[in-house]
């Protein structure tokens, strides 16, 4: 990191790693949903005609969506199975929540910043679309619900 607080030019948003409960799941080509919103509650005060009080309300986080090319591992589907049917029943109908980390990596492999998502569990997996007329890479996508995130780095 330079003296200005910005990372080197070699840092891109395309270089990142995803881990679940400290175990590497892999590298992904796209992660979306990294945001937080605070609802604003308005309170009108009698006799105050120049403004309306605005107070912070509920915090909301959208689901995180991870995309990558199909790999030889089934780790995403295995994690999904823990939240669905047989895996859910095997755990006594209790949902297993995890900590998910998305880490921005430098070109030399240095970890620059991590976003740690608490209470994470997969809610949707989408596999590749097949078409003879297409030469697009086969992709998989995993959508993850969570209770918010913290930032390291």
Predicted local distance difference test score (pLDDT) of residue 3: 45
Predicted local distance difference test score (pLDDT) of residue 13: 54
Cα–Cα distance for residue pair 113/99, rounded to 1 Å: 16
Q: Are 145 and 120 in contact (CB under 8 A)?
A: yes
Read out DSSP for 14-76? T-EEEEETTEEEEE-SEEE----EEEEEEEPPTT--S--EEEEEEEE-PPEEEEEE--S--HH
- CATH number for the domain harbouring residue 57: 2.30.110
Question: Is 54 within the bounds of a domain?
Answer: yes
Predicted local distance difference test score (pLDDT) of residue 128: 86
Question: Is 98 within the bounds of a domain?
Answer: yes
Q: Which two tokens stand for residue 21?
A: 């409960």
Predicted local distance difference test score (pLDDT) of residue 100: 95
Please classify residue 122 by burial: count the beta carbons closer than 10 Å to its beta carbon, then call 0-12 exposed, 13-18 middle and 19+ buried.
buried
Predicted local distance difference test score (pLDDT) of residue 4: 42
Query: Is residue 123's pLDDT more than 50?
Result: yes
Domain count, the chain: 1
Q: Are 140 and 125 in contact (CB under 8 A)?
A: yes
Each residue's pLDDT tens digit, 22-63: 988 888 888 999 999 999 999 999 888 899 999 999 999 999
pTM assigned to the model: 0.78
Question: Is 32 within the bounds of a domain?
Answer: yes
Domain of 37 in residue numbering reads as 16-152
Each residue's pLDDT tens digit, 72-102: 888 888 888 887 777 777 778 888 889 999 9
Question: Is 5 within the bounds of a domain?
Answer: no
């Amino acid at each position: 990191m330079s003296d200005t607080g910005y990372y080197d030019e070699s840092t891109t948003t395309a270089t990142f790693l995803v881990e679940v409960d400290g175990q590497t799941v892999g590298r992904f080509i796209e992660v979306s949903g990294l945001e937080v919103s605070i609802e604003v509650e308005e309170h009108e005060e009698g006799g105050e005609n120049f403004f309306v009080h605005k107070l912070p309300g509920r915090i909301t986080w959208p689901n995180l969506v991870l995309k990558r090319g199909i790999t030889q591992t089934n780790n995403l589907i295995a994690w999904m199975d823990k939240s669905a049917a047989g895996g859910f029943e095997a755990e006594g109908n209790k949902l297993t929540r995890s900590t998910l980390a998305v880490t921005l990596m430098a070109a030399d492999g240095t970890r620059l910043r991590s976003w740690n998502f608490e209470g994470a569990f997969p809610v949707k997996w989408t596999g590749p679309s097949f078409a003879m007329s297409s030469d697009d890479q086969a992709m998989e996508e995993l959508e993850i619900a969570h209770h918010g995130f913290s930032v390291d780095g």
